[in-house]
Structure 1
Amino acid sequence: MTRAKLPPSVSQRRLGAELRRMREHADLSATRAGELFGATQSRISNIEAGGYAVSAERVRALARLYDCDDEKLIEALAAMTGGRTRGWWEEYREILPSDALDLAELEYQARELRVSSTIHLPGLLQTREHARAMISDAVPPMRQDEVEHRVSHRLKRQSVVHGEPPTPLTAIIHEAALRVGFGGQSIARAQLRRLIDRSEEPHITLLVVPFSTGTYPSAGHGIVQFSGPIPSLDTIQLDTDHGSVFIDGEARLAKYRKLLDRLEACALEPSKSRNLMTRILRET
Structure 2
Amino acid sequence: MPPSKLPPTIRQRRLGTELRRLRELAEMSATEAGRLHGATQSRISNIESGGYPVSADRVRTLARLYGCSDEPFIDALTAMTGGRTRGWWDEYRGILPEPSLDLGELEHHARRVRIATAIHMPGLLQTTEHARALFRDVVPSLDPPTIEHQVSFRIKRQAVIYGERPTPVTAIVHEAALRMGFGGPKVARAQLEHLAEMGEREHITVRVVPFGTGSYPSSGSGIDYFEAEVPKLDTVQLDTDIYSGFIEAQPQLIRYRAVFDRLEGIALAPAESRDLIQHVAQTL
TM-score scaled by length of structure 1: 0.97
SS in 2 for 1:80: coil
CA distance in 2, matches of 1:143, 1:71: 49
Map 1:28-47 to 2 at 5 A.
28-47=28-47
Shift of 1:244: 2.4
* 1:132 and 1:147 in contact (8 A); partners too: yes
Amino acid at match of 1:37: H
* 1:93 and 1:101 in contact (8 A); partners too: yes
Question: What residue in structure 2 maps to residue 13 of structure 1?
Answer: 13
Question: What residue in structure 2 maps to residue 161 of structure 1?
Answer: 161
SS in 2 for 1:139: coil
CA distance in 1, matches of 2:147, 2:2: 31
* 2:132 and 2:147 in contact (8 A); partners too: yes
Question: What residue in structure 1 maps to residue 71 of structure 2?
Answer: 71
Question: What residue in structure 2 maps to residue 101 of structure 1?
Answer: 101
CA distance in 1, matches of 2:147, 2:222: 21
Stretches of structure 1 lacking an aligned partner (at least 5 in a row): none
CA distance in 2, matches of 1:243, 1:221: 9
The CA deviation string for residues 151-192 of structure 1, in whole angstroms up to 9 with x for no partner, is 000000011112221100000000000000001011000001
Question: What residue in structure 2 maps to residue 152 of structure 1?
Answer: 152
CA distance in 2, matches of 1:147, 1:205: 29
Question: What residue in structure 1 maps to residue 81 of structure 2?
Answer: 81
* 2:54 and 2:83 in contact (8 A); partners too: no
Quick check: 1:210 aligned with 2:218? Answer: no
CA distance in 1, matches of 2:42, 2:240: 34
Shift of 1:282: 1.4
The CA deviation string for residues 74-116 of structure 1, in whole angstroms up to 9 with x for no partner, is 1111121123331111000010000000000000000000000
* 1:22 and 1:63 in contact (8 A); partners too: yes
* 1:47 and 1:54 in contact (8 A); partners too: yes
SS in 2 for 1:47: helix
* 2:3 and 2:84 in contact (8 A); partners too: no
Question: What residue in structure 1 maps to residue 246 of structure 2?
Answer: 246
Map 1:104-143 to 2 at 5 A.
104-143=104-143
CA distance in 1, matches of 2:85, 2:210: 41
* 1:99 and 1:243 in contact (8 A); partners too: no
Report the more deviating stretch, 240-249 or 21-30. 240-249
* 2:8 and 2:84 in contact (8 A); partners too: no
* 2:209 and 2:268 in contact (8 A); partners too: yes
CA distance in 1, matches of 2:164, 2:121: 24
- Which aligned segments of 4 or more residues in structure 1 are displaced greater than 4 angstroms? 1-4
Stretches of structure 2 lacking an aligned partner (at least 5 in a row): none
SS in 2 for 1:113: strand
The CA deviation string for residues 103-141 of structure 1, in whole angstroms up to 9 with x for no partner, is 000000000000000001111111111000001101100
SS in 2 for 1:172: strand
TM-score scaled by length of structure 2: 0.97
Question: What residue in structure 1 maps to residue 263 of structure 2?
Answer: 263
